[in-house]
């Protein structure tokens, strides 16, 4: 008998259910006795012992469903070793519930913070296998995360829809794409949607360069301009500030988000009409695209195989078009970011796309 615990932690995204289904079907089809316990609402379920025994039927019909049927929550790694409001040792509680259920392994699906905690549990002696979930595609050790392609599709569709109204009215439109620290989603959606300007956290922008690009398009006869702007886009001036100085500035920030600040500055400098569209959490919602359904299923199946072989302490990743296992200690605490000198950025610039630099 193998007893497996499973949880999804952090922000939700498409294909979480598909990935869990991949793990479960692989284990059930191996003709071994297996029990799968689903912890509810991420690490909170593991801490406070909130779980339910899952059966074959729980994994039926969920391939196309977004979100996570187990629920999720954010349990910040920076406070995971602090007692809760009642003095409970959260790490000790997670270990206690793991051993109480006599689990052979924990399957944990999540992003960067989730993987830090997963690695901590590994260091504490628990058997852990993880799967890379995030629409940001910023996890170290894997070329792709599930949820990313679905989010790209949605963000691209938003940019596509904006094109017609921008062209009709001759306006400058900003589409704000998710991504506080990393710009993979904005970069890919911006290129796919034909954005003229792409602003990402890794390449600080100069507002004058942005206005120059808009004016250049106007001089060529283009009455509209589309900007794809990451949530975490930052000006060259702000990029020079220390973390403390930047935090102090943001405490007095008057804009709903960076896109509105950029819009106001463009308007003042150019006199052009600027509009902002924020797709927001729609980028994390809805049914996973076919690519993510296949990709998450493959990752889940490989995780199931590792469990059957008793190989623990790995994240199942994707490198050079192959599914691979990556040691958790090599993943935790590392952020994969867009390289400003990468080929995709160079190619985007050759296409005439401005990054405001």
Domains within the chain, CATH numbers bracketed: 2-147+288-331 (3.40.50.450), 150-284 (3.40.50.460)
**pLDDT tens digits along 301-337:** 999 999 999 999 999 999 999 999 999 999 998 999 9
Q: Residue 71: pLDDT band by 50, 70, 90 thresholds?
A: very high
Of 33, 58, 104, 136, catalytic: 136
Place 1 in a pLDDT band, splitting at 50, 70 and 90. Answer: confident
Write out the DSSP string of 317-340: EEETTEEEEEEHHHHTT-B----T
The tens digit of pLDDT for each residue in 175-214 reads: 999 999 999 999 999 999 999 999 999 999 999 999 999 9
What lies within 8 Å, CB to CB, of 44 at 6+ separation is: 50, 73, 75
Q: Is the pLDDT of residue 87 over 90?
A: yes
pLDDT tops 80 at residue 16 = yes
Average pLDDT over residues 26-35: 91
Q: How confident is the model at residue 109 (pLDDT cuts 50, 70, 90)?
A: very high
What is the pLDDT at residue 32?
80
Residue 244 — very low, low, confident or very high, per pLDDT cuts 50/70/90? confident
Taking a C-beta distance cutoff of 8 angstroms, is the pair 40, 49 a contact? no
In the block, which residue shows the tokens 């270990």? 95
The reported pLDDT for the residue numbered 221 is 85
Stretch 58-75: mean pLDDT: 94
Contact (Cβ atoms closer than 8 angstroms) between residue 259 and residue 278: yes
Model confidence at 222, pLDDT cuts 50, 70, 90, reads: confident
What confidence score (pLDDT) does residue 172 get? 93
State pLDDT tens for residues 278-294: 999 999 999 999 999 99
The dihedral through the CA atoms of 266, 272, 278, 283 has a sign that is negative
H/E stretch holding 130 reads strand 128-132
136 belongs to the catalytic site: yes
CA 14/CA 20 separation, integer angstroms = 12
Confidence of residue 171 (pLDDT cuts 50, 70, 90): confident
Q: Which of 161, 137, 105 lies closest to 295, judged by CA?
A: 137
The confidence score (pLDDT) of residue 17 equals: 97
Element at 177 (helix H, strand E): strand 172-177
User: In the structure, what pLDDT confidence band is assigned to residue 131 with cuts at 50, 70 and 90?
Assistant: very high
* Cβ-contact 145, 123 below 8 angstroms: no
pLDDT at 170 over 90: no
Q: Return d(Cα 195, Cα 356) in angstroms, integer.
A: 13
- Read off the pLDDT of each residue in 121-128 and give the average, rounded to a whole number: 97
**What is the rounded average pLDDT of the residues 23-44?**
94
Rounded Cα distance between 126 and 104, Å, is: 8
**Residue 133 DSSP one-character state:** B
What secondary structure, in 3-state letters, does 20-81 show?
HHHHHHHHHCCCCCEEEEEECCCHHHHHHCCEEEECHHHHCCCCCCCCCCCCCCCCCHHHCC
Residues in the chain: 357
Burial 34-62 (b: 16+ CB within 10 A, else e): bbbbbbbbbbbbbbbeebeebeeebbeeb
Q: Which of 180, 183, 192 is nearest to 155 (CA)?
A: 192
Give the pLDDT of residue 247. 83
Angstrom CA distances, 254 to 87, 259, 260, stand at: 38, 12, 10
pLDDT at 238 over 80: yes
pLDDT-based confidence at residue 271 (cuts at 50, 70, 90):
confident
């Amino acid at each position: 008998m193998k007893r497996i615990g499973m949880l999804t932690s952090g922000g939700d995204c498409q294909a979480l259910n598909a990935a869990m289904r991949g793990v479960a079907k692989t284990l059930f089809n191996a003709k071994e006795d297996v029990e799968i316990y689903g912890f509810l609402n991420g690490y909170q379920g593991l801490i406070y012992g909130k779980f339910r025994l899952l059966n074959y039927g729980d994994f039926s019909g969920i391939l196309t469903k977004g979100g996570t049927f187990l629920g999720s929550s954010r349990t910040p790694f920076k406070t995971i070793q602090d007692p809760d409001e009642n003095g409970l040792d959260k790490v000790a509680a997670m270990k206690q519930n793991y051993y109480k259920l006599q689990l052979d392994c924990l399957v944990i699906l999540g992003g960067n913070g989730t993987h830090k905690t997963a690695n901590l549990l590994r260091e504490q002696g628990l058997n852990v296998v993880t799967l890379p979930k995030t629409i940001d595609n910023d996890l170290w050790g894997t070329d792709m995360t599930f949820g990313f392609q679905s989010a790209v599709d949605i963000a691209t569709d938003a940019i596509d829809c904006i094109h017609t109204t921008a062209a009709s009215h001759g306006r400058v439109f900003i589409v704000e794409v998710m991504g506080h620290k990393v710009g993979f989603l904005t970069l890919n959606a911006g290129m796919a949607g034909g954005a003229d300007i792409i602003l990402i956290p890794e390449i600080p922008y100069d507002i004058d360069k942005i206005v120059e690009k808009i004016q250049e398009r106007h001089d060529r006869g283009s009455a509209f301009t589309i900007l794809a702007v990451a949530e975490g886009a930052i000006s060259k001036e702000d990029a020079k500030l220390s973390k403390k100085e930047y935090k102090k500035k943001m405490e007095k920030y008057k804009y709903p988000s960076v896109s509105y600040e950029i819009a106001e500055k463009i308007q003042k400098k150019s006199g052009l009409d600027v509009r902002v569209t924020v797709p927001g959490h729609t980028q994390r919602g809805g049914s996973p695209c076919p690519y993510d359904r296949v990709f998450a299923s493959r990752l889940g199946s490989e995780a199931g195989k590792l469990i059957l072989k008793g190989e623990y302490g790995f994240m199942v990743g994707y490198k050079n078009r192959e599914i691979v296992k990556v040691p958790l200690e090599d993943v935790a605490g590392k952020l994969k970011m867009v390289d400003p000198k990468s080929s995709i950025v160079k190619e985007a610039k050759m296409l005439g796309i401005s990054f405001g630099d």
